Amino acid sequence: MDSPRDERKARIAVERATALAELATTHGCESGAIGDVRWVGDAYVAASDAFDAATTTSDLTSPTGSGRPPPPLARLPTAGVPTGVPTPSGRPGANGVPTYDASSFRAPAFVNAHLSPRRSPCVIRGLMRHQKWSAAETFPDLEWLRSHHGDALVPVEIGVASADGKRAVPRIELTRLATFLNDHFADATTPRDDVAYVSQHSLLHQRPELQRHFAVPEYCVGRLAAANAWIGTAGTITHLHTDAADNILTQVAGIKSVRLYSPDVGEAHLYPERRGGNGAVNAFSPIDPDDANSPELLSRYPKFGEIPEEEIMDVELGPDDSLFIPKGWWHRVVARTPSFSLNFWF
Ligand SMILES: O=C(O)CCC(=O)C(=O)O
């Protein structure tokens, strides 16, 4: 950047881009807009133009964004539970979720047992292996991701919102995928305090080349409303909510804990709030199940403490596990390790 005028222009462009990213992220979160899907594309094209205008040549050509050599990146965990991974807190669920192996559990059996006439969740193990997704190799390889798609513009949520919506995600940064990876995944052995999440992002539409690394699961029975990427550090939390579409959530790498409640339990015990722009179809709960033993939480939300144990479902999703989350079912998702998930709304 040559002159103070250029600098000012660049600053304004970045501010505009960040505002657009926030807008896009807010809209992107409105997953219930199925049938009236608002892709984030336009906002991103505008944001990307503004961002490019504000970035120096070296930012654009160097995956570190600074001309420095890129740091080595850790590979995301694709097997077992790495040591030191904290176990979930709060009251454990008592109700197991039926679990199947993808090689012997085909779409008709899935439909008959879990989709129609009544919806219920299930875990399907080995989908990526069974469908021979190359994503199983490429997506956890963050150096591959950086070298092929490092210049993609992504919104990064820094920090965690509160369940009651009173504290929004502290910061949303619009940045290059390479910068996000360099800043948060450079050294897996050094624990970092900051939680960072590229959450529910339309990366697969932004970068259609990525689509050849996976297939839409057969359990979506030929329908697809949206597919998203979720790339984050350990500690990301997606608070209790419902979506208006059926969902296959596939864990490509890393481990996530998912708490599930049925729509009936949600209605009776989770104090549903229809906040946000798409309140007609999405519901959120102000409750963080990790606070289940907090007297303050229980005095404010007494019915939460009255959920029968057998109505609480907990699932640990590891690499190559997929979870069917039926529409209207409540779910809360916590990443126990750095993680890469895809989800398919259908
Ligand atoms: O993985 C997450 O953090 C949230 C996933 C989710 O809420 C979804 O797929 O609907």
The answer to the question of residue 4 being in a domain is: no
The answer to the question of residue 264 being in a domain is: yes
- Note down pLDDT in tens along the chain; length 346 residues: 556 666 666 555 666 666 555 554 444 333 333 233 334 456 656 666 777 777 654 444 444 455 678 899 989 999 865 666 666 555 666 678 999 999 999 999 999 999 999 999 999 999 999 999 999 999 999 999 999 999 999 999 999 999 998 898 889 999 999 999 999 999 755 556 689 999 999 999 889 999 999 999 999 999 999 999 999 999 999 999 999 999 999 999 999 999 999 999 999 999 999 876 554 567 999 999 999 999 999 999 999 999 999 999 999 999 999 999 999 999 999 999 999 999 999 9
The answer to the question of residue 331 being in a domain is: yes
Q: Whose CA is nearest to atom 7 of ligand 1?
A: 238
Residue 149, both tokens: 């798609």
User: How many independent structural domains does the chain possess?
Assistant: 1
- Pocket test of ligand 1: the residue of 197, 198, 261, 325 to mutate, having most ligand atoms within 8 Å of its CB, is 325
Which ligand 1 atom is at minimum distance from the Cα of 197? 3
Please check whether residue 227 is in contact with residue 330, taking contact to mean a CB–CB distance below 8 angstroms. no
The answer to the question of residue 279 being in a domain is: yes
Question: For ligand 1, is residue 341 a contact (CB within 6 Å)?
Answer: yes
The answer to the question of residue 158 being in a domain is: yes
CB atoms within 10 A of CB 113: 14
Residue 273, both tokens: 């709030």
Question: For ligand 1, is residue 247 a contact (CB within 6 Å)?
Answer: yes
Question: For ligand 1, is residue 238 a contact (CB within 6 Å)?
Answer: yes
Range of the domain at 237: 69-81+92-345
Burial of 44 (0-12, 13-18, 19+ CB in 10 A): buried
The answer to the question of residue 61 being in a domain is: no
The DSSP-derived string for 136-158 is: HHHTT-HHHHHHHHTT-EEEEEE
Tell which residue, 204, 146, 154, has the closest CA to residue 178. Answer: 146
CATH classification at residue 216: 2.60.120.650
Distances (CA, A) of 332 to 93, 238, 276, 287, 290: 13, 6, 17, 10, 10
Which ligand 1 atom is at minimum distance from the Cα of 249? 9
pTM of the model: 0.85
The answer to the question of residue 22 being in a domain is: no
The answer to the question of residue 40 being in a domain is: no
